[in-house]
Amino acid sequence: MISHISIKDFAIIKDLELDLHPGLNIITGETGAGKSIVIEAVSMALGSRADTDFIRTGAEKASIALTADPGSFDVRDILDEGGVPADDPLVLRREISAGRKSLCRVNGTIVPLSFLGKLCRHVADIHGQYDTQTLLNPEGHIDVLDLYGDEELRSVSRMVSGFYASLTRTGTALDSLRKKLADSERQKDLMRFELQEIEDSCLQEGEDETLEEEIRLMQNSEDIYQKLSQVYDAVYDSDDSASGRLGACLSALESISSFSKDLSDAAQQFSDAYYALDDLGRDLRRLRDGVSFSPEALNEKMERLDLIDRLKRKYGGSLEAVFAYRDKAQQELQTIENADAELEDLESKLKLYKEQYETAAARLTVLRERTAKTLEQEVDSELADLNFADAALSVSVEPAPASEKGSDRVEFLIRTNRGESFKPLAKIASGGELSRIMLAMKRIIGDLDNIPCLIFDEIDAGISGATAGVVGEKLRSIAADRQVVCITHLPQIAALGDWHYRIVKQSDDRSTWTTVVPLSDEERVEELARLLSGTTVTDSARMQARELLKR
């Protein structure tokens, strides 16, 4: 609901503050006092298009702020979508400046007008000449009808939605697979060639590094052989070799090792060194004798390395990348070769989901047509109570392209006079007629739309007497579980309000402005008496006013 309204420099409103409450809030005032201007300001705060003509003369900008609570509807997902903090209550603010774009804020965060409108559809409906509400949007009529229907209709509606989701998902997968197959068929021969090329090369992990090392050895084999021979001769194979001299030293140490522990340790360490050198000599000889050079072998290894380098350049720059490319190509080729079975499976599922959807959608159409008749009868009865005896509602259920809501297009049509044709609800010209039609719809639909605040403007146009009392009782009934704000000229409606406000136009030598005044019990009697008697309030009118309030 809306708990507070603040309007500054809007038309003839200079600075207006208004606290609203749960239940039926009545607003009255003399003609021209600015009642509809208040509704226009609230409408802009809720997301209608801004008009700079409403900026008060002499002011730079107009601003409207609403403090609101969306009631039972959880708007956190909508707020998250717009990056708006989920403060409670909501603070909606609209600023209109001459020569600049208007600003929309929710909880202090600037948001697009479209976002504000989307959010405020869950805050309030305005019925009258400034309509922005759900019932005037034909796209929402199908949801209203489904919610009004019984549990069977809602159950079938959920089935239709589920089948449509499966149908859409499977159709998308099928289209994707067909496109992939069309593209892949052209690439299949290339992939097979590339796989064969990689497989025929018989690559081994780390083979490129091993070949590079072997080639370096073969290219330097002569120098390596000479150096190894030189070292081996000096250490092991010459007359004055290091090994022979060390052997003589070891014999000398061993001959005196028994004289002390230190000499024994020294001899042992020298012995270890001697035999280590002996092992090294054997290794040097093995390395030397293993050195060989074959131009044919070198050429083979270099050709092998060239092949590996070419594959690396072609498939990713390293052997790991070549192996990864091979694995991916094998997987894709396998997918292509197994796609016929997958394609057949998806086509079978698509056919099944389509049959299920069409069967459920046809049943849903029957249930909607039946529900539409019931809704028409109830609304017609309500319209008769509201002095629209010749008015009638027609719920049009026509074929439409398949969607998650079925294969129907639903629209509410209205006829206000006998003999006239039915017209879309949104094209009703009279604000008063439209408000009463909305009242009848809300009276029946009840809480289905979850909107916590309803605002009615011009609802009393063209009615009086007993009809006014019926309208007031229906407003009071709706206000039992939501907030209703009603601008009226009729005392029969005004007397039923839980809260009563009067809009007053004041002026001085320089300007005119509108303000709003909450009425006490005695002030309320005076205001009802004014509505009953006109400009001059009589004692009789006051008695009638007290009688209305007493009822």
Q: What is the DSSP string of 373-426?
A: HHHHHHHHHHHHHTT-TT-EEEEEEEEEEEETTEEEEEEEEEE-STTPPPEEGG
DSSP state of 236: I
Cα–Cα distance, 14 to 63 (Å, whole number): 10
Residue 405: both structure tokens together: 């809501």
Contact 392, 383 (CB under 8 A): yes
CA–centroid distance for 203 within its chain: 50
pLDDT by position in tens, the chain (length 551): 899 999 999 988 889 999 999 999 999 988 776 777 888 899 899 988 888 888 988 888 999 999 998 776 778 888 998 889 888 889 999 999 987 788 999 999 999 998 998 888 888 888 754 444 566 778 888 988 998 898 999 999 999 999 999 999 999 999 988 887 777 766 777 888 888 888 888 888 888 888 887 777 777 777 777 787 777 777 777 767 777 787 888 888 888 888 888 888 888 888 888 888 878 878 878 877 777 766 777 778 888 888 888 898 888 888 888 899 898 888 888 877 777 788 889 999 999 999 999 999 999 999 999 999 999 999 998 888 887 878 889 999 999 999 999 999 999 998 888 888 898 877 764 556 777 777 888 778 765 667 888 888 877 777 777 788 888 888 998 898 889 999 988 999 999 999 999 998 888 878 888 889 999 999 999 999 998 887 788 889 899 999 988 87
| H helix intervals, 201-318 | 207-219, 221-232, 242-256, 261-290, 295-315
Q: Which residues contact 280 (CB under 8 A, 6 or more apart)?
A: 235
DSSP state of 489: S
**One-letter-per-residue 3-state SS of 359-380:** HHHHHHHHHHHHHHHHHHHHHH
Residue 346: both structure tokens together: 């998806």
Domain spanning 1-133+445-519: CATH superfamily: P-loop containing nucleotide triphosphate hydrolases (3.40.50.300)
Cα–Cα distance, 492 to 497 (Å, whole number): 10
Give the SS3 label for residue 170: helix
Write down the domain spans for the chain.
1-133+445-519, 151-362
The one-letter code for the residue type at 55 is I
Helix (H) or strand (E) holding 92: strand 90-97
